[in-house]
Amino acid sequence: MKTVRSTIFNTGLMALILTACSQPSGTGKDSLIEKQVEELLGKMTLPEKIGQMNQLSPFGSMDEIAGQVRQGEIGSLLNVTDPEKVNEIQKVAVEESRLGIPLLISRDVIHGYKTIFPIPLGQAATFNPQIVEDGARVAAIEASADGIRWTFAPMIDISRDPRWGRIAESCGEDPYLSSIMGVAMVKGFQGDSLNDPTSIAACAKHFIGYGAAEGGRDYNSTFIPERQMRNVYFPPFEAAAKAGCATFMTSFNDNDGVPSTGNTFILKDVLRNEWKYDGMVVTDWASTAEMISHGFCKDEKEAALKSVNAGIDMEMVSGTFIRHLEELVKDGEISEATINNAVRNILRLKFRLGLFDNPYVNTDQHVKYAPEHLAKAKEAAEQSVILLKNNRKTLPFTDKIRTIAVVGPLADAPHDQMGTWVFDGEKAHTQTVLTALKEMYGDKVQFIYEPGLGYSRDKNTGNISKAVSAATRADVVLVCVGEESILSGEAHSLADLHLQGAQNELIAALAKTGKPLVTVIMAGRPLTIEQEVNLSDAVLYAFHPGTMGGPAIADLLFGKVAPSGKTPVTFPKMVGQIPVYYAHNNTGRPASRQETLIDAIPLEAGQTSLGCTSFYMDAGFDPLFPFGYGLSYTTFGYDNLQLANDKLAANGTLEISFDLTNTGKYDGTEVVQLYVQDTFGSVTRPVKELKGFQRVPLKQGEKKTVTFSLPVEELAFWNIDMQKVVEPGEFNLWVGPSSAEGLQTTFTVE
């Protein structure tokens, strides 16, 4: 029997962050750089300083903005991706502006640049920070080859509402998982040193609370009280700051009446004073000017004033700084010291990136879609797919399967399988499920392709009969459904999360054939798929798996790799259950799960005859799939849970061990999860909180002892006095395959 102990993510969050901090990736002031910043700042006029705080997205030719660059009126450009143009405009900045300050070139490189990895929500489903870091590294290498040195990722907004289209871009509902994945992305983008020409500055966004938009409607207001902010929404951002994330972006929403771009509490009190952050803060797109629409500022001038005084360093595209800051400084409404601080933060980043030494990009690099990048994207996609159901061992396909009907609008959808926030990936490079199956398994199996529907929203049922006919001629039916990429992402919220168009009818018709039905779902969010799951024999949830999604899914279907993904977010049965997340607080009347549901309620039942617990009469209490859920082709047994010491001091470390056995007939990898509950506190505490996880590969029949070390300090929370403390008392602890199952024990902090 072997003992495994992951060096990265079972020793707790602080250890992970410290690993990242020990690398010279962006924080920790370098005295030479500080000297250079001060020298340069000393030479700058007020308009030149304000120019550095201005970011533009040019829509025309470079000539149109060259004049402004020459005058020192622009500090950064976004969305310039042609390396020749980057060099051309950089030359103007460096050789023709008075002080020769290079531009910072930026782009949304969210889950890949050319080689597209699974959407971030899919990456979170891997529970594998290393593959996530590798993905960000690939993205940085490809993007920097086009001159991009700053990306607007990771997005680490806690997302508990799948109606919100941007859940696709998040790491899901959990603060711990989002912290680990956010740090992994920062490390991948920024590499070992920002100064490396393949490193790109990361941006922790959106600070703060954007994922809690009321009703899941994008840009909507949030109402997050300070304690919840600190316990749930801040942790991934604090982790990113401590890991050296070079920049932060404010969010669009107003929280409790204050838009983030004008929020002194989050930008000054918390980010600068509590977390000691010395990176750069940028607004979101036009969010300074949007404070006028919010009704928070009467005009542009006031918007510029409130942003800068709240702690914004750079403004994305609003143009209010360039138009009003000089006057505001002259009027004494903004001090020059405030402007100097903002400019220091910008210049420091430019020095850290090495832009003053070499602002130009080598236009002769051939790194896009490199074979090793595609291999990493395939590995990430394999690990991101979640097996939700597998009745009668329908999967993996065995040698007995000779003919497969391949059906559905996502089976051969090279654009859509890349998902949202793809500006630069090209569909010509995407390998779809259909192409991959034919190429990789076409010598053994006959594939009959009959899509049935043209695209996910297609309501035309005219071709479903052709798909049914293909199904009747096959040994098994593979139906690929889901969402087109345009149905998730920014401003793409939905109020109904059922499969769009006639996809449900397609699945129902295929199920009627009686052939084994395997459903693959590619989507940007958890959809309400109870009916489709019931109709299918096996279900793989692939999110939008990216460029290499096809080969990854093909190998999963044929068992070359066993599924190992786990849900990074709770899957609701019905939209009306939202928000539904595992780490909720208890009510005074928790659901018993024995409640009478709507169809069983007797006529004219007495008002209190059903009991008085917290549940829905139509949906019950439980979601469709809990957080952390996912099957494999094999099965895993958990036993022998032990704590080295069940009474701990506040500075102690809990040592946990248990045996994990592969009890099935395939090799596989299990994501084991560690949860803790503080049974009571000065404020109510979540019923469970994730505190650790590991991917454990096991051969069939193999058994390993798995260990976790949990420092007691990681049990701290923001208490009734708004202090972050560990309150002594009893704790429950679980290790298991999801947030809903596991071995349980207790321990005490004294």
Please give the positions annotated as active site: 284
Binding of residue 492 to ligand BGC (CB under 6 A): no
What's the rounded Cα separation, in Å, for the pair 516 and 394?
7
**3-class secondary-structure state, position 625:** strand
What's the rounded Cα separation, in Å, for the pair 482 and 471?
19
Binding of residue 207 to ligand BGC (CB under 6 A): no
What is the per-residue DSSP string for 642-710? EES-SEE-TT-EEEEEEEEEE-SSS-EEEEEEEEEEE---SS--BS-EEEEEEEEEE-TT-EEEEEEEE
Considering beta carbons, is residue 110 or 535 the nearer one to ligand BGC? 110
What is the per-residue DSSP string for 539-560? EEE--S--TTHHHHHHHHHTTS
Considering beta carbons, is residue 135 or 736 the nearer one to ligand BGC? 135
Query: Which tokens hold the place of 146?
Result: 């086009």
Residue 128 beta carbon to ligand BGC: minimum distance, rounded to whole angstroms: 24
What DSSP designation does 631 have? B
Binding of residue 150 to ligand BGC (CB under 6 A): no
Other CB atoms within 10 Å distance of the CB of residue 654: 23
Considering beta carbons, is residue 211 or 630 the nearer one to ligand BGC? 211
Q: Which amino acid is at 132?
A: V
Residue 433 beta carbon to ligand BGC: minimum distance, rounded to whole angstroms: 29
Q: Which of 440, 444, 452, 439 is nearest to 405 (CA)?
A: 452
Other CB atoms within 10 Å distance of the CB of residue 606: 7
Considering beta carbons, is residue 205 or 324 the nearer one to ligand BGC? 205
Alpha-carbon dihedral of residues 733, 736, 741, 744, nearest 10 degrees?
-30
Cis peptide leading into 294, omega within 30 of 0? Answer: no
**In DSSP terms, which residues pair with 469 in a beta bridge?**
none
Residue 495 beta carbon to ligand BGC: minimum distance, rounded to whole angstroms: 21
Considering beta carbons, is residue 245 or 672 the nearer one to ligand BGC? 245
- Interface with ligand BGC: number of residues (CB under 6 A): 6
What's the rounded Cα separation, in Å, for the pair 548 and 116?
8
Binding of residue 108 to ligand BGC (CB under 6 A): yes
> Where does residue 565 rank: exposed (0-12), middle (13-18), buried (19+ CB within 10 A)?
buried
Considering beta carbons, is residue 73 or 284 the nearer one to ligand BGC? 284
Q: Which residue is nearest to ligand BGC (CB)?
A: 152
Considering beta carbons, is residue 218 or 532 the nearer one to ligand BGC? 218
What DSSP designation does 279 have? S
What's the rounded Cα separation, in Å, for the pair 539 and 553?
12
**3-class secondary-structure state, position 496:** coil
Q: Contact letters (x/-) for ligand BGC, 274-293, by CB under 6 A?
A: ----------xx--------
Query: How does 400-435 read in b/e, with b if 16+ C-beta sit within 10 Å?
Result: ebeebbbbbbbbbbbbbbbbbbbebbeeebbbbbbb
Binding of residue 490 to ligand BGC (CB under 6 A): yes
Residue 408 beta carbon to ligand BGC: minimum distance, rounded to whole angstroms: 31
Identified binder of ligand BGC from the candidate list 163, 187, 205, 438, rule CB under 6 A: 205
Question: For residues 152-171, which are near ligand BGC according to CB under 6 A?
Answer: 152
Cα distances from 289 to residues 57, 78, 271, 285, in angstroms, run 16, 18, 22, 9
Considering beta carbons, is residue 326 or 490 the nearer one to ligand BGC? 490
* Radius of gyration for the chain, computed over Cα atoms and rounded to the nearest angstrom: 26
Longest dimension (CA), the chain: 84
Alpha-carbon dihedral of residues 14, 16, 19, 20, nearest 10 degrees?
-100
Considering beta carbons, is residue 17 or 418 the nearer one to ligand BGC? 418
- Which residues bind to ligand BGC, rule: CB under 6 A? 108, 152, 205, 284-285, 490
